[in-house]
């Protein structure tokens, strides 16, 4: 093979390699944009909450938000449910709390803190203890957020499930509690109402 033939042979091989590399990148990007993203959704798990007993023997009710992905084949990575705003319509002054604080996952101590959601998970929204009242359930408590309400209260929370790939719509959660506890699920629905939209 003479030098001219060698030059052209190497030139065509180099061109073919460059075109193949660019083609592979284009195909990978096309597939990434075509791939459907997760679709995260939120809803209240049970209106009457879930009655349980604390280690102290005191009765309590936990209220959970159910988080799921409508596209289970496209899991959402590092999912967390955040509260971005809390309003207390009946308080004076009527200044809302604003920030970003994550809610606890149900059984937080024994689960992965930022799970991958293909199948559904539940997070703790709030709880009511018979003696101490209503507690919001953030993973940590910012100084300016009032999470404990010993008696009758009205709260409006704005929550959103977020992941690396996609976020849910912001959901408005209204909590109305008249300060009364009942062991009966149906009766408790008359004292504690949570509505989501």
pLDDT tens digits for 31-46? 656 568 899 999 999 9
pLDDT tens digits for 150-181? 999 999 999 999 999 999 999 999 999 999 99
Tell me what pLDDT residue 34 has: 59
In order of 89, 95, 122, 124, the CA distances from 98 in angstroms are 14, 9, 23, 19
Tell me the sheet residues that pair with 6: none
pTM of the model: 0.79
CB atoms within 10 A of CB 51: 15
Using alpha carbons, select from 52, 17, 194 the residue that is nearest to residue 130.
52
Q: What is the pLDDT along the chain (197 residues), one digit of tens a residue?
A: 777 777 778 777 787 888 888 777 766 666 656 568 899 999 999 999 999 999 988 999 999 999 999 988 888 999 999 999 999 987 766 788 999 999 999 987 777 777 777 778 999 999 999 989 999 999 999 988 999 999 999 999 999 999 999 999 999 999 999 999 999 999 999 999 999 99
Which residues 6+ apart lie within 8 Å of 146 measured at CB? Answer: 86, 88, 97
Among residues of the chain, what percentage have pLDDT more than 90? 60
Phi, psi (rounded to 5 degrees) for 73: -75, -10
């Amino acid at each position: 093979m003479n030098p001219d033939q060698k030059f052209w042979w190497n030139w065509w091989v180099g061109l073919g390699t460059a075109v193949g590399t660019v083609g592979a990148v284009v195909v990978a990007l096309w597939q990434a944009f075509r791939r459907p993203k997760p679709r995260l959704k939120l809803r209240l798990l049970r209106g009457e909450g879930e009655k349980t007993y604390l280690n102290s023997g005191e009765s309590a009710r936990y209220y959970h938000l159910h988080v799921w992905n409508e596209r289970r084949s496209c899991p959402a990575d590092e999912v967390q449910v955040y509260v971005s705003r809390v309003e207390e319509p009946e308080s004076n002054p009527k200044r809302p709390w604003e920030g970003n604080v994550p809610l606890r996952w149900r059984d937080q101590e024994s689960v992965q803190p930022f799970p991958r959601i293909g199948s559904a998970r539940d997070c703790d929204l709030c709880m009511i203890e018979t003696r101490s009242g209503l507690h919001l359930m953030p993973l940590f408590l910012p100084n300016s957020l009032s999470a404990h309400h010993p008696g009758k209260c009205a709260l409006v929370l704005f929550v959103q499930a977020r992941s690396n790939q996609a976020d849910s719509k912001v959901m408005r959660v209204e909590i109305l509690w008249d300060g009364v506890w009942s062991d009966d699920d149906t009766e408790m629905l008359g004292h504690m109402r949570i509505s989501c939209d």
